[in-house]
Structure 1
Amino acid sequence: MITTNTLNTLRISGLASGIDTESIIKSLMAVERIPVDKLKQQKQILQWQQEDYRTINNSLRTFRDKVFNMKLQATYLAKKATSSNEGAVGVTATSAAVEGFYTIDIQNLAKGITVMSANRLNEETASDGTTKKLAEQFGLSGTITFTLEGSVKNADGSYKQQTFSFATGEKTIYDVVKEINAANLGIQASYDSVNNRFMLISPGTGETQHLKVVKDDNSFLSGTNSTLQLQITSGVIGTSEITSPQSLVVGTDYTGVNAQFTLNGVTFSEPTNTFTIAGVTYELRQANVTANVTVSSDTDAIINSIKDFINAYNDVIGKINAKLAETRHRDYPPLTDDQRKALSDDEIKKWEELARSGLLQNDPLLDGIVNTMRQTMATIVPGLTGSQYNDLSDLGITTGLYEEKGKLYIDEAKLRDAIQKDPTGVMNLFTKSADKYSEKGIAMRLYDDVNNAISQISKKAGSDSTFTLADNSYIGQRLREIDESINDMEDRLKQVEDRYYRQFTAMEQAINQMNAQSAWLAQQFSMGSR
């Protein structure tokens, strides 16, 4: 048998002896590889542990966001606003809103400028499907020219103007729309091909919106006989709001309309129909209407925030406790490469599920994290002057059975009663700030706990989100050490394998030499017998 090793050294085995050298060396090397396989199994276990640690850390990061919200006083100052007439005004409240009763009297809604064709224009599409030129669509000839002014102002405060010229035999109505919009005057042009109408519309509402036809030499836009038959349907001329359509007039300044209303007797003017006053956002929907607005504490929102927080807490400690209690199957070590070759994919999957189970069983790091969090949730917060609540049980939040390992339950009726009686006391229980950890509110202390936990796990197992190429965590360093040991052993195994081949080759050469000597002696005896 002739083989070549990785160094391309010619190997001749078994020719003289008839021994299956390859099989013998393979069996010998399988024994030699046992320490390497053990190192690879150790590496796999560490990698699985690292994945489990990082999965828990990701859960802690998600939980930290919930805890951060519980640190904010705004969470406990949630307000709600209701309107007596939702059709007239919609309302929402922020935590800055002042509780009370408000009356809003809406005189006028904010409006922009709208100009559109009074009648259906000539069809812009020809019978062959192409778009007609202006000359064909409107019976025009030569070049049309007009100058527009929109809401955009120059550096000196004057309105920006743009003069447009269109060769009617070359351009279409869509070219007109495109060039007006490209000028960025603060006025938007469009053409409705379904109803064959041209439109000029301000991008917003209020008195800052502006439109003016400065020149229109060909009466393309303006005048009673304009080509596009444009009429202004929304806007203000001077101080008079347009209540019925009027022909667009050259040289006339058109502006938008501010919303006009009184709130508890105070007059306001706003450029839009949606605005915020004293923490309440109003959306005006109807003019000449009076509505009542009530702002009050949003107990349901506060309860839901606390419930979400407790659910998130139960979820994260549940995941950690599950890892701490997971069964360890020591009879199922990670598979070696040769073992994998002998199993099906389904068998490999089932084996690995058992092999990686319980790798964090009774882990002291995770156990310490859970205990710290549980202690924080059961702690009494000192120094809450004037409050009847100094721990979570006062709010109806209590620990379950011993075997539930710290799971919390909420008595919602008791929690609601506490929030309604003393919302500030509930807020301070969670958000109290202090220099000493032991004097902080529950959310403030728990936020520190979670940050420390994330840091400890990152030191142990590294982080998926790290921006450095090197993993300097404990497991990361151990993995590098094992890789170095594996590489050293692989080099040594190559040397051992080469030594075996040299030894068997020497044996083959000796046997071959003996065979040659025997043949010579046999030949000599044969000749002597004659």
Structure 2
Amino acid sequence: MRIGGLASGIDTESIIRDMMKAHRIPLDKITQKKQYTQWQLDDYRSTNRDLRKSSDKLFDTVMKQSTYMKKNVSVSDEKAVSITAKGSTSDFSGTIEVKRLATQATLQSGVLKHGDEKITDAQAKTLQFKDMEIKKDQFMISGKDTLTITAPGKDAVDIEVLETDTIDSLLAKINEKSGVSAFFDSGTGKIAMSAKDSGKGIIKISSKTNLVENLKLNAPKPPDPDNPDALVPLFEPEGPRASYGADAKFTFNGLETTRPSNTFTINGFEVSLKQATTSPVTFSSSTDTDQVLDSVVEFVNDYNEMIEKLNSKIKEKQFKSFHPLSAEQKADMKEKEIELWEEKAMSGTLKGDPALSSMLNNLRSIMSASVNTTDKDGKSLDKEGKQITISLHDLGIETTSNYLDNGKLTINEDKLRAKISENPNAVYDLIGGKDNGIAQKYRTELQDAQKKITVKAGSSTTVNDNYALGRSMKSMDQQIERFERKLQMMEDRYWKQFTAMEKAFQRANDQSTQLMNSLGGM
């Protein structure tokens, strides 16, 4: 702690502070420049994130051919069959007649009793196999057993069964590990099983001991002679307890075929069979014009939003007299005053940026370009033998007449809808085409601008030395550090000088006192 002016009565601290203020002016300018550079860096990185999002969205939407090939499918009997487009690029029509739906294989046990009574829900949860009797037959599980289950379309699975297991715990293992869903119904006293997948086949169960017989899970020989490998019961069944799963059987455009499931895909269309039919069901697909139109409109709107935002940035006014505020300056201002001041101080950080300006100019040219395409019949040449081309103008998309819009686009939706209905492939060639499509060129411009901005502003994970603004900020940090050391040395020198002056004053005062005392003594 320094206290000056005790001898001289001079406010040393205020004098030195005022003197240092003048010396700090160059340092304040460097600090202000650093703050402005940080704002500029933040704006560049924010812009780069926006460009990356736009680039990714182009790739995921209008650059994909499926965007322009979305289909509506009409079916004459939707209660029997439903058909949904899942990526087909061509129209689709025909007939389908459902002979039989795919079904799951099922199996039911006989009635399970403990003693003479049906097993209850509580007993299914708590009664262990070692303590359970079914029709007075003691379960023969000593320590553990193995249950082998095979379901249609699945490999055999071995399930360990312990003498401490209950019906519920065994069924939980079956549900978890096998291709079978099983549950116990206390109303009937039976275990019911069904294959998790539909399709031809039967549930087969075997065990090392008599567990299958005691649980009455033997599948009786079915009446279907086409399935010779069915299990034969070891006791007289209480009626049919097993049913074979069946494949769906149908005639598709004259071809009789089967599928293990009622839902399947043919030629890019998902077909779901719901019930058998007595006559063919007709279906046909057509371009989903509304969906395609919405995608193109969104593409144009995103483009307009982007160029409006970027043009406002590169043309934003700079207020050179509004510098970043220091902490001392903010302390003397109201919150609203600070907000209004910094709004002007932060303005124009990207003004005239060459990378963004060049990209915007190139995009205007891209949006007015034509590309080669084919007509609705797939022909690439017109009647005069000239290559057929298409541009946004042909879709009803034009540049606005107001030059202040900086190349914004406007859409005639009726014209666009008609073109999509007439020839969606041509719309794809223009916007999404892999080689010369507008979106591909657009995305290339975005990526080039991103690279240039990254060279200038880096990214959140880039070391300062690897980009231009980072090197500038590092240099300013070094200048600030050197200047602060210099100012500290200067302040220390002032205090030494004023301290020496105070000591001189003190000596003079002491001498004066001594002289007065001497004269008074005379």
- Provide TM-score, normalisation by structure 2: 0.81
Residue 395 of structure 2 is aligned to residue 395 of structure 1: yes
**One-letter amino acid matched to 2:276:** A
Q: Please provide the CA RMSD for this pair.
A: 3.9
State the distance in 1 between where 2:186 and 2:513 align. Answer: 108
Please point out which of 101, 105, 116 is paired with 2:93: 101
Q: Is the 2:16–2:494 Cα contact (8 Å) retained in structure 1?
A: yes
In the alignment, which residue of structure 2 is the partner of 1:77?
Answer: 69
CA shift at 1:322, angstroms? 2.2
CA shift at 1:416, angstroms? 2.3
CA shift at 1:369, angstroms? 1.9
The farther-off stretch of 486-495 and 377-386 is 377-386
CA shift at 1:378, angstroms? 1.5
Q: Is the 1:471–1:477 Cα contact (8 Å) retained in structure 2?
A: yes
Residue 211 of structure 2 is aligned to residue 222 of structure 1: no
Aligned CA distance change for structure 1 residues 135 and 95 (closer, same or farther; 3 Å):
closer
State the distance in 2 between where 1:27 and 1:285 align. Answer: 90
Structure 2 residue matching 1:71: 3-state secondary structure: coil
In the alignment, which residue of structure 1 is the partner of 2:43?
Answer: 52
Residue 315 of structure 2 is aligned to residue 321 of structure 1: no
Residue 38 of structure 2 is aligned to residue 41 of structure 1: no
Q: Is the 1:80–1:295 Cα contact (8 Å) retained in structure 2?
A: yes
Q: How does 1:183-198 map to 2 (within 5 A)?
A: 184-190=177-183, 198=191
Residue 199 of structure 2 is aligned to residue 206 of structure 1: yes
Residue 442 of structure 2 is aligned to residue 446 of structure 1: yes
In the alignment, which residue of structure 2 is the partner of 1:31?
Answer: 22
5+ unaligned residues in a row in structure 1: which ranges? 4-10, 225-230, 435-439
Q: How does 1:59-458 map to 2 (within 5 A)?
A: 59-68=50-59, 69-115=61-107, 122-125=119-122, 132-134=126-128, 143=139, 145=141, 148-151=147-150, 159-162=156-159, 164-167=161-164, 171-181=165-175, 184-190=177-183, 198-207=191-200, 210-214=203-207, 216-217=210-211, 219-222=213-216, 239=227, 256-288=245-277, 290-381=280-371, 385-386=380-381, 388-400=388-400, 401-432=402-433, 440-458=436-454
In the alignment, which residue of structure 1 is the partner of 2:13?
Answer: 22
Aligned CA distance change for structure 1 residues 176 and 424 (closer, same or farther; 3 Å):
closer
**One-letter amino acid matched to 1:148:** L
CA shift at 1:79, angstroms? 3.2
State the distance in 2 between where 1:153 and 1:259 align. Answer: 14
Q: Is the 2:51–2:446 Cα contact (8 Å) retained in structure 1?
A: yes
The farther-off stretch of 381-390 and 482-491 is 381-390
Q: Is the 1:258–1:271 Cα contact (8 Å) retained in structure 2?
A: yes
**One-letter amino acid matched to 1:478:** S
State the distance in 1 between where 2:183 and 2:25 align. Answer: 79
In the alignment, which residue of structure 2 is the partner of 1:511?
Answer: 505
**One-letter amino acid matched to 2:414:** A
- Provide TM-score, normalisation by structure 1: 0.80
Aligned CA distance change for structure 1 residues 124 and 21 (closer, same or farther; 3 Å):
farther
State the distance in 2 between where 1:196 and 1:24 align. Answer: 101
CA shift at 1:264, angstroms? 0.8
CA shift at 1:509, angstroms? 1.4
Aligned CA distance change for structure 1 residues 57 and 119 (closer, same or farther; 3 Å):
farther
Q: Is the 2:106–2:243 Cα contact (8 Å) retained in structure 1?
A: no
Structure 2 residue matching 1:33: 3-state secondary structure: helix
5+ unaligned residues in a row in structure 2: which ranges? 113-117, 231-235, 375-379, 382-386
State the distance in 2 between where 1:148 and 1:254 align. Answer: 20
In the alignment, which residue of structure 2 is the partner of 1:475?
Answer: 469
**One-letter amino acid matched to 1:15:** L
The farther-off stretch of 84-93 and 381-390 is 381-390
The farther-off stretch of 358-367 and 410-419 is 358-367
Structure 1 residue matching 2:466: 3-state secondary structure: coil
**One-letter amino acid matched to 1:525:** L
Q: Is the 1:223–1:249 Cα contact (8 Å) retained in structure 2?
A: no
State the distance in 1 between where 2:119 and 2:81 align. Answer: 41
